[in-house]
């Protein structure tokens, strides 16, 4: 990619170059950026210590309680930053058990959660991103709390001013208001100390989030109109694709899985081409809208090969992928129909690869030492490379067939869209590094992975009559 620094990582025993993945600039924060992130939750007092909270006090005793709670919250968060668990627990104990502090502490925690969720939105984070990262760094109880905090914060916005993509994420993570009073979603559940510690850990994580690229309008700023995005992705087509891929994932017969997966790819490829032609004819190449972005989870273990798999799927479907390894996601940029194809295909092929990998079982060397991890790492890397080869073949065939029907107009349209996607990548990620996803050290795993990818052949020619 233009402007990217390529870091070559060669494989060893397999003697094959694995594909690279782009990693975003956010993966490499400078010392000044880290210091700025730390200061986000040190709210402006000389010396940078205590927080302030916006509720009005009722008398000197109320003000004293608020100041005490503010100081304890600041001290607890500072202890989290220093990883001083003893001091953190001391602050939590006083906040949870201090006489007469219950209401003040609850209001302080709720206010801090609300404000830092809002700050996350302004920093480019979206609901699914926040919930995914909390699940990656903390535990299930923290995920429940931050999901409820997101639902509470979203009450401030009319639905007509929230982007469809945002609403889809809220629905996917189950962010709904189920409580009567806000204090209920803190979920004390008989152990106030655990509740306070849980809330503070979530607040600390939210307060130290680095900025991300903004992919859609903030809540309250979108202007949704009926049918404004309805033509971008044919939901009936998408439902058919998902049904075909579900059959490919569930069948025990390789030939059937091949047919179902190929049929799904045929539908997606043709829909993408039709959407490109329609946009160019109705609005012209320059008026077909800007490429959009969405973030897809890339989970442990074996994140590197999984990111490679997503990257080759994105490239074959006229998109680009940038991996943020420390946050557990990749940002995929492209036009709506292509993004939908990438998401459903990545989900399905990852399921198929994982199933095949597990069926292959564990591995040990001649001395009895486990070789399972290297086997699976190599398996998935080989699978990703081979899938990339097959997808490029299938994509080329789909374009040739469509060009025969559409005439010479198709190729300039597709080229213009590719250029628009590349320009969007350069705009959002001006500095990227292209890296390998880890050494391939297990020859058996590499061979097995390529064989599994061959069983997921994506030959789109004539698989289904209704694909067009």
Confidence at residue 54, expressed as pLDDT on a 0 to 100 scale: 41
pLDDT band at 239 (very low <50, low <70, confident <90, very high): confident
pLDDT at 394: 72
Query: Does residue 301 have a cis peptide bond before it, meaning omega lies within 30 degrees of 0?
Result: yes
Which region among 16-30, 323-337, 365-379, 409-423 has the lowest average model confidence (pLDDT)? Answer: 16-30
Q: Is the pLDDT confidence value at 46 over 50?
A: no
Average pLDDT over residues 430-458: 58
Amino acid 29: pLDDT:
44
Is the pLDDT reported for residue 269 higher than 90? no
Lowest mean pLDDT across 41-45, 61-65, 270-274, 376-380: 41-45
Question: Residue 190: pLDDT above 80?
Answer: yes
Per-residue confidence (pLDDT) for residue 87, from 0 to 100: 96
pLDDT-based confidence at 451, cuts 50/70/90? low
Q: Nearest CA to 377 among 458, 444, 435, 298?
A: 444
pLDDT tens by residue, 23-38: 665 554 444 444 443 3
Specify the pTM: 0.74
Considering only CA atoms, give the Rg of the chain.
25
Q: Which of the two residues, 257 and 121, has the higher pLDDT score?
A: 121
Q: Name which of 3-7, 19-23, 87-91, 115-119 the model is least confident about.
A: 3-7
Q: Sorting pLDDT into bands at 50, 70 and 90, what band is 280?
A: low
Task: Say yes or no to pLDDT of 17 above 50.
Answer: no
pLDDT digit string, tens, across residues 101-153 = 999 999 999 999 999 999 999 999 999 999 999 999 999 999 999 999 999 99
Residue 60: per-residue pLDDT: 53
The region of weakest confidence among 5-19, 124-138, 205-219, 317-331 is 5-19
Confidence of residue 55 (pLDDT cuts 50, 70, 90): very low
CB-CB contact of 28 with 435 (8 Å): no
pLDDT at 377: 82
Q: HSE, CB side, 13 Å, CA atoms: give it for residue 359.
A: 10
What confidence category does residue 39 fall into, taking pLDDT thresholds of 50, 70 and 90?
Answer: very low
pLDDT given at position 425: 93
What pLDDT is attached to residue 449? 55
User: Which two tokens mark 396?
Assistant: 């080329």
38 vs 31: CA distance, rounded Å: 11
How much is the pLDDT for 236? 73
How confident is the model at residue 44, as a pLDDT? 29
The pLDDT, as a whole number, for residue 148 is 98
In sequence order, what are the beta bridge partners of 23?
323, 433
Give the whole-angstrom CA distance, residue 153 versus residue 398: 45
Nearest-CA neighbor of 455 among 282, 274, 255?
Answer: 255
Q: How high does pLDDT run on average in the chain?
A: 77
Residue 460's pLDDT is 32
E strands in 364-430: none
């Amino acid at each position: 990619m233009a402007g990217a620094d390529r870091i070559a990582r060669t494989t060893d025993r397999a003697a094959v170059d694995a594909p690279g993945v782009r990693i975003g600039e956010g993966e490499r924060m400078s010392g000044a950026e880290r210091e700025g992130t730390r200061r986000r939750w040190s709210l402006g007092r000389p010396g940078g210590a205590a927080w302030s909270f916006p509720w009005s006090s009722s008398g000197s005793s109320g003000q004293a309680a608020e100041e005490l709670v503010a100081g304890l919250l600041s001290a607890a968060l500072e202890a989290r930053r220093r990883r001083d668990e003893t001091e953190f627990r001391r602050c939590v104990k006083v906040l949870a058990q201090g006489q007469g502090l219950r209401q003040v502490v609850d209001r302080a925690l709720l206010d801090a959660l609300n404000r830092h969720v809002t700050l996350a939105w302004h920093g480019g984070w979206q609901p699914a991103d926040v919930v995914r990262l909390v699940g990656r760094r903390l535990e299930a109880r923290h995920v429940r709390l931050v999901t409820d905090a997101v639902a509470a914060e979203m009450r401030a916005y009319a639905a007509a001013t929230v982007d469809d993509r945002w609403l889809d994420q809220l629905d996917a993570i189950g962010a709904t208001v189920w409580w009567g009073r806000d204090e209920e979603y803190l979920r004390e559940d008989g152990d106030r100390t655990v509740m306070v510690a849980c809330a503070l850990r979530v607040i600390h994580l939210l307060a130290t989030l680095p900025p991300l690229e903004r992919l859609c309008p903030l809540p309250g700023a979108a202007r949704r109109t009926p049918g404004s995005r309805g033509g971008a992705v044919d939901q009936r087509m998408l439902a058919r694709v998902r049904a075909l891929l579900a059959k490919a994932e569930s069948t025990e017969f390789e030939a059937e899985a091949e047919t179902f997966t190929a049929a799904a790819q045929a539908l997606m490829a043709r829909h993408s081409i039709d959407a490109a032609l329609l946009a160019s004819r109705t609005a012209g190449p320059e008026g077909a809208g800007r490429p959009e972005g969405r973030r897809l989870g890339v989970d442990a273990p074996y994140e590197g090969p999984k990111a490679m798999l997503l990257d080759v799927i994105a490239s074959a479907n006229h998109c680009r992928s940038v991996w943020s390894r420390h946050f557990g996601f990749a940002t995929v940029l492209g036009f709506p129909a292509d993004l939908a194809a990438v998401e459903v295909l990545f989900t399905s092929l990852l399921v198929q690869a994982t199933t095949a990998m597990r069926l292959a079982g564990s591995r040990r060397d001649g001395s009895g030492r486990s070789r399972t991890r290297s086997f699976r790492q190599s398996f998935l890397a080989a699978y990703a490379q081979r899938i990339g080869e097959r997808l490029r073949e299938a994509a080329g065939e789909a374009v040739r067939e469509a060009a025969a029907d559409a005439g010479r107009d198709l190729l300039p349209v597709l080229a213009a869209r590719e250029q628009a996607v590349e320009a969007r990548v350069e705009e959002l990620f001006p500095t990227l590094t292209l890296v390998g996803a880890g050494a391939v050290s297990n020859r058996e795993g590499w061979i097995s992975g390529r064989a599994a990818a061959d069983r997921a052949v994506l030959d789109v020619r004539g698989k289904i009559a209704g694909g067009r």
